Amino acid sequence: MRYLIEHETILDYPAAVREHHLELRLTPRQDAGQRLISHRIELEPSAERHSYQDYFGNGVDYFCVNAPHTCLTTRLTAEVETLRENPFDFEPVPVYQQKEWYARELRQTPALYDYLLHRSSLTPAIMKLAAELDCAVPRHEAEQLPMDSLLELMGWVPKVLSYEAGSTAVHNDLLDAVRHRTGVCQDFAHLFITVARSWNLPSRYVMGYMDPGILAEGEMIATHAWAEVLVPGGGWIGFDPVHNLLANDRYVAVAVGRDSYDAAPQRGSFKGGDAGTQPQVNLTIVNQ
């Protein structure tokens, strides 16, 4: 699939702010699942832009607007080709070789431990999660293929959380969402990751976009979040518990991390008065 993405964010402030530093994680990733054909980032007011790749392999653009301003606009235009048509298209590693497969991957890539051991208020320890639930946490048995257990987990998450747009804020504590039994895509992904890590499966958070054609009824076009798990034989496989779908070529990954904080599309700081209103986001995704 080939997508043209336009993502505009407008920040308005009631009084002028200055020395505005901003980091953007908006450039779609390049990996085995997708190819970035072109991209352009525009800023208003204009500023000198710099780029680098962060610890998680995400493309980051950063800049500083020193002059006083009451409005800051960032605009991404990107063209992406997605390649993973069938996420089941791989040869699973036999169950009796799974343990050694993971041990070898961790020896060769120690950074994977970040996706295995990390705990935060977004992806808490499993005991804290279990204490908030009135149902049992799913288990993964050694004689099961991880893929089978993960598919069951993907179906379990919506039994704990009901999707409700705007029910939680960005970087909301997962346990708060679980207590209220409602959440948004970030909460669904964090819940999935929390359980998968308790099974000793390297799991990471993904921020990106999905084809508007598979949005649920009433769901608005917006950035989306899902989870990826390192599966023997298949590599990083994406699980979208909101829609109970595996991520395929109708998903565009932008940034990954241990949780949503690592993959935030925009964050920064400035000098001035009020923080201003909620960002205005205008997003279009066109299947070409």
Instruction: Report the distance separating Cα 185 and Cα 168, nearest Å.
Output: 10
Q: Is 214 or 207 the better-scoring residue by pLDDT? A: 207
What are the two backbone dihedrals, phi and then psi, of residue 137, each rounded to the nearest 5 degrees? -75, 135
| Percentage, residues of the chain above pLDDT 70 | 99
Does 219 score more than 90 pLDDT? no
DSSP tag of 67: S
Query: Per residue in 138-165, pLDDT tens?
Result: 999 988 999 999 999 999 999 999 998 8
Find the angle CA(61)-CA(112)-CA(103) to the nearest 5 degrees.
160
For the entire predicted model, the pTM comes to 0.94
Does 275 score more than 90 pLDDT? no
In this prediction, residue 283 carries a pLDDT of: 96
Instruction: Report the distance separating Cα 142 and Cα 145, nearest Å.
Output: 8
What are the two backbone dihedrals, phi and then psi, of residue 181, each rounded to the nearest 5 degrees? 60, 20
Q: Which residue intervals of 43-134 are DSSP H helices?
A: 98-108, 114-117, 126-132
Contact 33, 246 (CB under 8 A): no
Does 166 score more than 90 pLDDT? no
In this prediction, residue 127 carries a pLDDT of: 94
What tokens does 130 get?
């279990």
Does 218 score more than 90 pLDDT? no
In this prediction, residue 182 carries a pLDDT of: 94
Exposure on the CB side of residue 13, measured as CA atoms within 13 A: 18
In this prediction, residue 8 carries a pLDDT of: 96
Instruction: Report the distance separating Cα 61 and Cα 59, nearest Å.
Output: 7
Instruction: Report the distance separating Cα 69 and Cα 49, nearest Å.
Output: 17
Report the b/e string of 269-280 with b at 16+ CB within 10 A: ebebeeebeeee
Does 276 score more than 90 pLDDT? no
- CB within 8 A of 157, min separation 6: which ones? 188, 191, 192, 241
The closest of 215, 277, 223, 284 to 255, measured between CA atoms, is 223
Provide the pLDDT confidence category of residue 32 given band limits of 50, 70 and 90: confident
Exposure on the CB side of residue 81, measured as CA atoms within 13 A: 5
CB atoms within 10 A of CB 135: 9
Cis link prior to 45 (omega < 30° from 0)? yes
Provide the pLDDT confidence category of residue 279 given band limits of 50, 70 and 90: confident
